Amino acid sequence: MEILYLLIPLSVVLVFIIGAAFWWSLRSGQYDDLEGPGYRVLRDDDGVRK
């Protein structure tokens, strides 16, 4: 059961890492448009990129 002393703090750290990852994705605007990218895959203008 001693492993719990490692695993529980580890889970806390993991939560913060996941939280940071979500924060980054939110900041970079990944949730701003939830539909567009799905259609973009279907479009044929792959060649035109900025």
Partner 1 sequence: MGQASCYHCGLPIPAGVDLSVTIDGEARAVCCIGCQAVAQAIVANGLADYYRQRDALPESPREAMPRVLDDLKLYDHADFQKSFVRALGEHEREAALIIEGITCAACIWLNERHLAALPGVTGVDINYSTRRARVRWDETRLQLSDILAAIVAIGYRAHPYDVARQEALAHRERRSALWRLFVAGFGMMQVMMYAVPAYLAGEGEMSADIEALLRWASLVLTLPVILYSAAPFFRGALRDLRLRRVGMDVPVALGVGAAFAASLWATLSGSGEVYFDSVTMFIFFLLGGRYLEMTARQRAVSVTEALARLRPAFAARVPGFPAVRTVERVVVDDLAPQDVVLVRPGETIPADGCVLEGTSGVDESLLSGESAPVTKAPGDALTGGAVNVDSPLYFRVEQIGEATRLSAILRLMERAAMEKPQLVALADRIAGRFLEVLLLLAAAVAVAWSFVDPARMLWVTVSVLVVTCPCALSLATPVALTIASGALARLGVLATRGHAIETLARATHFVFDKTGTLTTGEMRLLDTLPLGERDRDACMALAASIEQASEHPLGRALRQAAAGMPLADVSEVAGVPGAGMSARMDGRAVRIGRLAYVGEIHGQALPEAAAAFAQSDDTVIALGDDTGWLALFRLGDAVRPEAAAMLAALRADGRELVLLSGDSARVARRVADALGIATVIAEASPQDKHAYVSGLQADGAVVAMVGDGVNDAPVLALAQVSVAMGSGSQLARTQADLVLLSDRLTAVAQAYRLARRGLAIIRQNLVWAFVYNIVALPLAMAGWVTPWLAGIGMSGSSLLVVLNSLRLQRSERHEKPWKSSIS
Site residues (vs partner 1, CB under 8 A): 1, 4-5, 8-9, 11-12, 15, 18-19, 22-23, 26, 31-32
**Nearer to partner 1 by C-beta: 19 or 40?**
19
Query: In sequence order, what are the residues at sequence separation of 6 or more whose Cβ sits closer than 8 angstroms to the Cβ of residue 25?
Result: 31
Task: Identify which of residues 26 and 40 has a Cβ nearer to partner 1 in the complex.
Answer: 26
CB of 42 to partner 1, least distance (A): 24
CA angle 38, 42, 48 (to 5 degrees): 105
Six-digit token string for 41: 């895959």
